Structure 1
Amino acid sequence: MSDYTAADPAFARLPGSIRYRVGAAFAWELGCEGSGLLVPIPQGYTFDVSIPRGLRWAFDPHDARFLKAAAVHDNLLERGWDRVSAAGPFHQALKADGVGRLARLAMLLAVALWRFG
């Protein structure tokens, strides 16, 4: 088990929103385990789980399996990564957190193509 999958950052939902605060720092390792290329997510980092309202019947933005991946994705975007590049680690993080293949595909396409152009 990797440090990422073992991490339990205890997210706190910000009242009345789809925004969360990270309760304990964790990191996602880019590429394969042991690469040393870490994306650290600090304690207190805030992010959102921006699933379009029309898709929330299928994907609950408060599903705990999505939270770490969403934090990694938003952090990469803030670091200057483009949406398509940030989608890869997002997809892999969802996989590590046990999200099924079809749900990962739908979410991958959504984050990579949202506001495309």
Structure 2
Amino acid sequence: MAADSPTSSTLFPTLNPNNTTSHLHLPSSTDPPSDTNPPTQKVWLVFGATGHIGRSLVKCALSHGDNVAAVGRTRENTMPQMQGWHERCLGLLCDVRVRATVRSAMERCIDRFGRIDIIV
């Protein structure tokens, strides 16, 4: 196995089959919801939200009670399509090739929801 392989034990010691203890410690935010760890509302910024995968992510996040800034492409006529998706969904347009429009989308998301937890 090459040292730079995705499963190389030098990159990810926990994937070593001879290792009986995990040295990987994840933050508590990655723990699944339970009685002692209730789910918390997240704020998503989803680029490509008008495509198939993006739209599915938006619907899934909204169904879990999260807030979403759904970003569509500027060359499409997406604003009328995005209007009224959901009260917790902010429809935005952005050309990801132009840094100023990406920054504007992020700022508008923060202005509306106060923070960004997940960017896709």
TM over 0.5: no
TM-score, scaled relative to structure 2: 0.24
From the CA coordinates, give the structure whose radius of gyration is larger.
Answer: 2
Greater percentage in helix: 1
